[in-house]
Structure 1
Amino acid sequence: MSEATALVRLQEIDLTLLRLSKAADQLPQRGKVVAARAASKKVMSELTKIMGQRKDVEIELADLEDCKKLLEGHVAECQEQAKDVVDYRDTLDLEEQLSLLAKKLEKVDFDTERLLERLETVERAERNAEALKARLAKEEQALTESWRQAAADITEQAGKLKAERADIVSGISPELLDRYEKARKRFGGVAVETLVGNKPSACRVTLQPSSFADIRRSASEVTTCPYCKRILVVSQEA
């Protein structure tokens, strides 16, 4: 393969590698995975908050249960004392204490019922959040696998092209390769153009007859475009 043909093929490979790199970055699965992870993170944050609320309610219920046992113990003591009381005033005092304890127990039961309803609501929210978390995790796993497969296909294509590139580069002189790399950076990847009739394929500016004649007389397969200064391949004979 001549250096002229090698240059044209080298550019084709480099442009394809560039497109593959952009394609990998723009895979739709990637955006979907990012969105799924963000949704999962939001659900986890909400789930953590709900679990905290549930624990708070459970602690309050446990405190109310301890309070109820304590009050019931006082009631039992008062009732036991009432068996031995004969004085009318002492009886009234015990009845007043029992009445007060009954009101406190009633409030404890009311608060307990209220908290049980709240606990039921929080537990339902927690179950829903757990179910959503599991569903999002499953979706993320499927999307990630799809993304990896698509990326693997692109990586495989890129790998083959890179191997071919290395083989082609070995057949190009260091001076011409350096010239190509510099032009590639300068012109955004399109460093080489071919002569189609009397027009370079990239800049598409028709060569003046004198310039065209000079290029033909030089008999060089590789020259420089007099207009855009890219590498101009005149012949691609293998």
Structure 2
Amino acid sequence: MKAAQQAQLRLLDLQDLDSSLDRLAHRRRTLPELAEIERLEGRLTELRDAIVAAETEVGDLEREQKKAEQDVDQVRTRADRDQKRLDSGQVASVKDLGTLQTEIESLQRRQADLEEVVLEIMERTEEAEGRVAALRTDRSAAQDELSVLTERRDASLREIDEEAGTTSAARTAVAKDVPDDLLALYEKLRGQFGGVGAAKLFRGACQGCHLALNTVDLNRIRAAAEDEVVRCEECRRILIRTPESGL
């Protein structure tokens, strides 16, 4: 393949711009905010689930407490009714009086037990409500942190995209100076060799693979015509000759 020396030199400019675009793309993918945002989004999902579970527990406990309080009221009402019968003197039979007193005592014990149940449920409800409040506080803090990180990420992305836009425009202009066949070869090699398709021959070494060329290869390149497109025998990248090539 042949191409004017000036066109070959433009490949170095193109390579520099492409390397800059690759670095910008890498920076865009690896912004530290991205990992932190992902972590916080996961944390918010965990908090959301925990809040739902805690709120459900509070709701269940409130219903349980209401049922227990209703049981207390029922027992208290029955005990009050029996006490009124006892106090009214309407029960004349000694046996009936004894039965009534026994029932009242049983109801009082039952009421005391149920009131203990209500208190225990109230304590559990208070603990669950405390967990809900704490989880909501954690969620609010995580949301605030996420908002700050999102703003920082967006600012960084805007900066990267602006730089990438400027670099892409410059690349388009440079690519116009490179013949289509040489450009196609360059693009092919870039895809094969980690984004580097053309490299400078500097003091007898390829700046693509950073290996020194042997005497035979240097003599071959030295003898090649100025418009001949030469390749590194080690890495097969396009080698660009300059006054610093050491030929």
The verdict on a shared fold, with TM-score over 0.5 as the criterion, is yes
What residue in structure 2 maps to residue 93 of structure 1?
A: 99
**What one-letter code is carried by the residue in structure 1 that aligns with 2:30?**
Q
Correspondence for 1:161 among 154, 163, 167: 167
Q: Counterpart of 2:51 in structure 1: which amino acid?
A: L
Of 141, 150, 155, the residue aligned with 1:149 is 155
Q: Report what 1:176 is aligned to.
A: 182
1:74 aligns with 2:78: yes
Q: Distance in 2 between matches of 1:124 and 1:197?
A: 73
Partner of 1:224: 231
The answer as to 2:216 corresponding to 1:210 is no
Give the paired residue count.
234
Specify the alignment match of 1:9 in structure 2.
Answer: 13
AA aligned to 1:11 is Q
Distance 2:15 2:191 in 1: 12
How far the C-alpha of 1:42 sits from its partner, in A, is 2.2
Could you tell me which residue of structure 1 aligns to residue 52 of structure 2?
48
**One-letter code aligned to 1:211:** R
Q: Give the letter for the 1:185 counterpart.
A: G
1:154: Cα distance to partner?
1.1
> Percent of aligned positions with the same letter in both sequences?
22
Q: Counterpart amino acid of 2:226? A: A
**Equivalent-residue separation in structure 2 for 1:24 and 1:70 (angstroms):** 68
* Deviation for aligned residue 1:39: 2.1
TM-superposed deviation, 1:9: 1.3
Equivalent-residue separation in structure 2 for 1:228 and 1:122 (angstroms): 67
Q: Structure 1 unaligned segments of length 5 or more: list them.
A: none
- Give distance in 1, aligned partners of 2:59 and 2:208: 70
Q: TM (normalized to structure 1)?
A: 0.88
39-48 vs 115-124, which deviates more? 39-48
For 2:166, give the aligned amino acid.
K
Preserved contact between residue 221 and residue 230 of structure 2 (Cα < 8 Å): no
**Partner residue in 1 for 2:207:** 201
Provide, for residues 114-160 of structure 1, a one-character-per-residue CA deviation record: whole Å limited to 9, x for no partner: 11122222222221111111111111111111111112211111111
Structure 1 position 109 matched with structure 2 position 115: yes
What's the CA shift for 1:227? Answer: 4.4
Q: Distance in 1 between matches of 2:142 and 2:205?
A: 57
TM-score by length of 2: 0.85
User: Which whole-Å CA distance do the structure 2 matches of 1:88 and 1:200 have between them?
Assistant: 118
AA matched with 2:58: R
On the 8 A contact 1:50/1:125 being kept in 2, the answer is: yes
Distance 2:184 2:147 in 1: 45
User: Displacement of 1:221 after TM fit?
Assistant: 6.5
Deviations 1:9-42 (A, max 9, x none): 1111111111111112221111111222222222
User: What residue number does 1:129 align with?
Assistant: 135
CA distance in 1, matches of 2:137, 2:203: 67
The answer on 1:57 being equivalent to 2:61 is yes
With over 3 angstroms needed to count, the CA separation of the structure-2 counterparts of 1:68 and 1:112, relative to structure 1, is same
Query: Structure 2 unaligned runs (5+)?
Result: none
User: Aligned letter for 1:34?
Assistant: E
Quick one: distance in 2 between partners of 1:64 and 1:5? 88
Aligned to 2:29: 25
Contact map agreement 2:199 2:208 (CA 8 A) in 1:
yes
